[in-house]
Amino acid sequence: MLFALRAALVLFRTQKFRFLLTVSGILVGVASLVLLAGLLDVGKGVLAQASSTALGDDTLTVENDWRKTMDNPDAKRLTHEDQLAIQESTALSPGTLVTGAYGMRHRKSTFNKEEFEPLTLGVEQTAFKVYGLEIDRGRTFVSREYDNASRVAVVGSAVLEGRLQPGDVVRIEGVPYQIMGIMKAKPTVGPGDDWGWNNRILIPSVSYRMDFDPSRRPSNIVVKVATPAGYTGPIKDYVLSVRGILDSILIRGRTVKSWEYEGVGESDSTEAIVLMTIQVLIYMTAIFSMLVGGINIMNIMLVTVAERTREIGVRRALGATRKDILKQFVSETLAVTCIGAALGLVVAVVLLGVASAALTQWVTPWPFRVVPWSLLASVGSSLLVGTAFGLYPAWRASRLDPVEALRFE
């Protein structure tokens, strides 16, 4: 093996371009597997944390099941009375907060003659605690503004690219609303930024009903669940069990279950699909790169065998067997593969460091992490590919006729 490694280094010194072409596929395959595995491993935690922050592990959202309400004449939409029934229920743990969102529509708005269509909704006083919303500048609504149906608003950090300030007046479908506060940026998980909190305008629910929709039908009802005193199990498990309590409350006066839930448990399957898709892409990228690297190695080794035909003839004349020649060229192939894998590992570690620093700087805290299994898997698969694709050139070399090989010029 030492002789084979020396031969590989000679190839590197004398024919650097050919050597780099030979190991490029292995290098990319190893680097991509280690790099993407490391990013994915950290990304799982980042995604879970973002999901938890955006949705809330202790939050359940009750929404209309529009398929049921459209197809079944007995299905009833959610009402304000449903929200009150949940709020007043003694079956829920003390400290549970309930709020309703009204509207949830993109409405034509203007600010200094500039037109835009933010997602606008009416909210209640409990909304800021339930959704975990914080104010960056200005303030939230006060009780008298709810009671008097004041035309005031709180806006997300990204509305009009963050150019709005407390005191500005925005016209929502021609109705003037004064901005009281700007919310802190909140992570977005779901259909996209246009639907996230950062691009929403919040107005008091009483004002919304007065100006836009007197029906008092909430778009959804959100329950921030408080766990009972002494409960020590996972919060998610308890929150999921609360669904049964809500079902028993909402079914009163109905013959058809016409609502569905969002929140805890609903994002898990989506996250799992996303992560599984990424993992499949990682493996496909690595496998494809390895195969390309194997083909490169086989082609280059076939050329090497042709170039070293006379050397093979001399070795056979000096007593080397076909098995010796086979071992020699397989060893050289493995040596080249090992060098490519080593370079791939170095490249992967460097890129992981750069990616971690960049993501920490511009996105979110992202620790540097190398996944041990990816190191073993990448090196093992590269050696397997090198062996598999190096056997044919080695076999060709071992089958050369010694007399004909000595005559080769």
Residue-wise pLDDT tens digits, 132-181: 899 999 999 999 998 899 999 999 999 998 899 999 999 999 999 999 99
Q: Hey, what amino acid is at 263?
A: G
Residue-wise pLDDT tens digits, 40-98: 888 776 665 555 444 556 888 899 998 888 888 888 999 999 999 999 999 999 989 99
Contact 99, 219 (CB under 8 A): no
Contact 391, 330 (CB under 8 A): yes
Does one domain contain both 134 and 26?
no
Does one domain contain both 208 and 82?
yes
Domain boundary among 237, 266, 295: 266
Domain boundary among 234, 266, 298: 266
Residue-wise pLDDT tens digits, 204-247: 999 999 999 888 899 999 999 888 887 777 777 788 889 999 99
222/205 Cα distance (integer angstroms) = 14
Given CA atoms 109, 114, 118, 121 in this order, what sign does their dihedral have? negative
pLDDT of 190 > 60? The answer is no
Contact 33, 351 (CB under 8 A): no
Contact 93, 239 (CB under 8 A): no
Does one domain contain both 112 and 213?
yes
pLDDT of 13 > 60? The answer is no
Residue-wise pLDDT tens digits, 348-380: 999 999 998 998 888 778 889 888 888 888 888
Q: How many structural domains comprise the chain? A: 2
End-to-end CA distance of the chain: 28
Q: Which domain holds residue 274?
A: 2-52+270-407
Does one domain contain both 289 and 213?
no
Does one domain contain both 159 and 249?
yes
Does one domain contain both 213 and 298?
no
Does one domain contain both 135 and 250?
yes
Residue-wise pLDDT tens digits, 292-301: 777 877 887 7
142/274 Cα distance (integer angstroms) = 41
Distances (CA, A) of 152 to 98, 163, 170, 199, 268: 22, 17, 9, 17, 36
Contact 152, 144 (CB under 8 A): no
Q: What is the mean pLDDT of residues 296-320?
A: 77
Does one domain contain both 333 and 362?
yes
Residue-wise pLDDT tens digits, 147-156: 899 999 999 9
Does one domain contain both 206 and 63?
yes
Confirm whether pTM is higher than 0.75: no
144/129 Cα distance (integer angstroms) = 18
Does one domain contain both 167 and 313?
no
Does one domain contain both 256 and 320?
no
Domain boundary among 220, 250, 266: 266
Does one domain contain both 336 and 384?
yes
Q: Which residue has the tokens 């596929």?
A: 25
Going by the DSSP 8-state scheme, the letter that residue 140 receives in this structure is -
